[in-house]
Amino acid sequence: RTCQSQSHKFKGACFSDTNCDSVCRTENFPRGQCNQHHVERKCYCERDC
């Protein structure tokens, strides 16, 4: 199962999974990706849980 948490450090809309992934790694998550949240794309960090 994968748990997601919106990134606290990522600023603005998320268009690059690579950038999101890098920011999530600084937040002690193994990976991250952009996901649609209402009208805006946000960076979500993921980990196995």
Q: Tell me the average pLDDT across 7-20.
A: 98
Confidence of residue 19 (pLDDT cuts 50, 70, 90): very high
Q: Tell me the average pLDDT across 5-30.
A: 98
| For the chain, domain boundaries | 2-48
The domain 2-48 having CATH identifier 3.30.30.10: the answer here is: yes
Q: Which pLDDT score, from 0 to 100, does residue 30 have?
A: 98
Contacts of 9 (CB under 8 A, 6+ apart): 23, 26, 27
Token representation of residue 10: 């990522």
Report how far residue 6's alpha carbon sits from residue 10's, in angstroms, rounded to the nearest whole number. 9
Question: Are 29 and 42 spatial neighbours (Cβ–Cβ below 8 Å)?
Answer: no
Give yes or no for residue 35 having a pLDDT over 90.
yes
Report how far residue 5's alpha carbon sits from residue 33's, in angstroms, rounded to the nearest whole number. 11
Q: Model's pTM, two decimal places?
A: 0.90
Q: Tell me the average pLDDT across 27-44.
A: 95
**End-to-end Cα distance, the chain:** 6
